[in-house]
Structure 1
Amino acid sequence: MQQPIPERLQVSPFLVLYLIMSMQIGIGVLGYQRIIAKAAGYDAWISVFVAGLSIHIIVWMIYKICGTAEGDVVAVHTFVFGKKIGNVLSTGFIVYLLIFALAVLRTYLEVVQVWMFPEISPFWYSFVFLLLSVYIIFGGFRTVTGIAFFGIVLPSYLLLTFGFALRYGDFRNLLPILDHSLKDMATSAFNMSLTYIGFEIPLFFYPFIKDAPKSQKWAHLVFF
């Protein structure tokens, strides 16, 4: 069990919804439709559904693990494997997040270069962007949560634009159903992982949630 986080540094349980969602909505949504359709075709929607159900199980496991160890992933590793091996495993998770952050930054930079400023310097743009990110991080976890909240709420009106395309939709295009093998749909679900990735982030901020077990319902709500 790690030292409890002061309540003034914690955030409300419902904000877990925005923290996880802000991790997920990013580079994956730029082209996942084409990627998952390569393997499963018109049955790709089933792969998305199955992947979502599997993540519900993983989220339940995350909260069960963190609740048992009463801490984050570092506390879990120390609790199970001891301090030395636990630190090695925790370092692996940190490296994973660094690689993920670099992938997001590079893809975001690519979008800016292709659509807006093709001659922008990748180094200086990345430097300024990371400098701003560090500034936000030094503001504390509550500041990061606030950025995540407004990053979801402010552009949420864009969801209304999907309504204009509904009149052109034809649900018969989903037929025939189950026209692909289980292997194809499993491959499609795996290819969806870049879009779903981010659900593991409660492993790191679990101690910063007030009444953390109560936030589990909000974590599950992300995947509905």
Structure 2
Amino acid sequence: MIINDNDKISSFQCFVLLVSVMIGIGIMFMPASVAKASEQNGWFVVMLGGILSFLVFLLIFRVTMINPDLTIIELLNKAFGKILGTVLSFIYVVYFVIFSAFETRLIAETAKEFLFTLTPNEVLIISFLFTCAYISRYGIEVIARMCEVLMPGIVLIIIVLSFFVYQRLDFSNLLPVLNIPFTKLIKGIGTTIFSFLGFEVFLFFMPYVRRKDKLIKSAFFGFLVTILLYEVIVIFATADFGSKVVQTMVWPTLNLFRDVTVLEIVIERPESIVVSLWMITTYTTEIIFLMTTGLILARIFNTKEHNFFVFIQLPFIYILSLIPQNIVETQRFMDYFSYFFASFTVLLLPLITFVTLSIKKKVKKYET
């Protein structure tokens, strides 16, 4: 695929893409999941999970910088040969399709609960997928510009709402500090890392980055903003309800914003505002995932455009999204998905690829 300079993204666009793709599903459910794993110490687990996720991103950067003009698809072929490399590339296709399916189902369930109570899940899922697919047909630079417009406003509104929630918090609910067994710490980190997933799209975006030398700086601030936003949500939810109560909630972030008072005026149903903002962030995440899968298939089949492949994946996403019986089962499937499938595609496979290519490079240098 030939990449024009107009299709490349700036350093700031890399930053907003990272924030957009990471702040998706996780922000709505994270307080409950980390409370179940680490009780009142969720804030500490979020920080560690964010740092470890950034270290994994550094590995991804190192792998892709072996040849910055190639994606992981071509690097897999170089490392393992055409046949095995293609098989491993299809694993990434399956990964993003499953990820998109679970995300779509959670969005449909949440939208049905708070916004479209009489609309069937099937209708919500189809509408969501086709809206995202339409935008995903465009290039990465267009989508990055969309994120530039949407993301700063969304983050600002969440911060403002959090400020008005602050007055009713009881920070004694965060005590005792760091009183957590090592096993719970590890479990909590594993749960938290799922909420940072999405950054792995840069395994496929590196050829589109204009200033590759500034990507680490953009990623650092992208992770920093995401970590701080997650910290605010987790700390505020725990301080407001207590870890025991948060564990029982399906939508703890929405519960946090159910009662917001501004200048002694109670805003009715502010959670509807939060759901609407959250749906915009998940739209951007889904758009990026659909486009990424399309780009992967376009490179596997060596075609110039990815548009056709964006729509091919929709039936599979739709069918998979209907498999879980309810939102609780969907969340459980996502936990298994992040522990096993994501661990392989995001960490192990890039690491093995990097080691294999490094060994091949040294052997070739030794032979010459």
Q: TM-score, normalised by structure 1?
A: 0.91
Question: How much does 1:97 deviate?
Answer: 0.7
Once the two structures are superposed, residues 46-66 of structure 1 have per-residue CA deviations (whole angstroms, 9 ceiling, x without a partner) of: 111111111121111111110
Matched, 1:203 2:203: yes
Name the counterpart of 1:36: 34
1:72 partner amino acid:
T
2:141 partner amino acid:
R
In 2: Cα distance, 1:151 partner to 1:95 partner: 29
Name the counterpart of 1:10: 8
Matched, 1:25 2:39: no
Q: CA RMSD in A?
A: 1.8
Matched, 1:67 2:65: yes
Q: Relative contact order, CA 8 A, sep 6+: which one is greater?
A: 1
Task: Compare 158-167 and 7-16 and name the one that shifted more.
Answer: 158-167
In 1: Cα distance, 2:214 partner to 2:88 partner: 28
In 2: Cα distance, 1:128 partner to 1:43 partner: 39
Once the two structures are superposed, residues 141-162 of structure 1 have per-residue CA deviations (whole angstroms, 9 ceiling, x without a partner) of: 2222123223312323322111
Q: Match of 2:116, SS? A: coil
Matched, 1:141 2:135: no
Confirm or deny: 8 A CA contact 2:50 2:193 kept in the other structure: no
In 2: Cα distance, 1:84 partner to 1:213 partner: 32
Structure 2 residues without counterparts, runs of 5 or longer = 225-368
Question: How much does 1:172 deviate?
Answer: 4.2
In 1: Cα distance, 2:202 partner to 2:181 partner: 34
Name the counterpart of 1:222: 222
In 2: Cα distance, 1:17 partner to 1:94 partner: 24
Confirm or deny: 8 A CA contact 1:69 1:79 kept in the other structure: no
Q: Match of 2:223, SS? A: coil
Percent sequence identity is 24
Aligned to 2:49, which of 48, 51, 55?
Answer: 51
Confirm or deny: 8 A CA contact 1:42 1:174 kept in the other structure: yes
Structure 1 residues without counterparts, runs of 5 or longer = none
Task: Compare 128-137 and 56-65 and name the one that shifted more.
Answer: 128-137
Name the counterpart of 2:88: 89
Number of paired residues? Answer: 222
Runs of 4+ in 1 over 6 A off after TM superposition: none
Question: How much does 1:171 deviate?
Answer: 4.3
Question: How much does 1:195 deviate?
Answer: 1.3
Name the counterpart of 1:130: 129
Name the counterpart of 1:180: 180
Task: Compare 148-157 and 133-142 and name the one that shifted more.
Answer: 148-157
In 2: Cα distance, 1:77 partner to 1:213 partner: 23
Change beyond 3 A, Cα 1:120–1:188: same
Q: TM-score, normalised by structure 2?
A: 0.57
Confirm or deny: 8 A CA contact 2:41 2:178 kept in the other structure: yes
Name the counterpart of 2:107: 108
Question: How much does 1:167 deviate?
Answer: 3.2
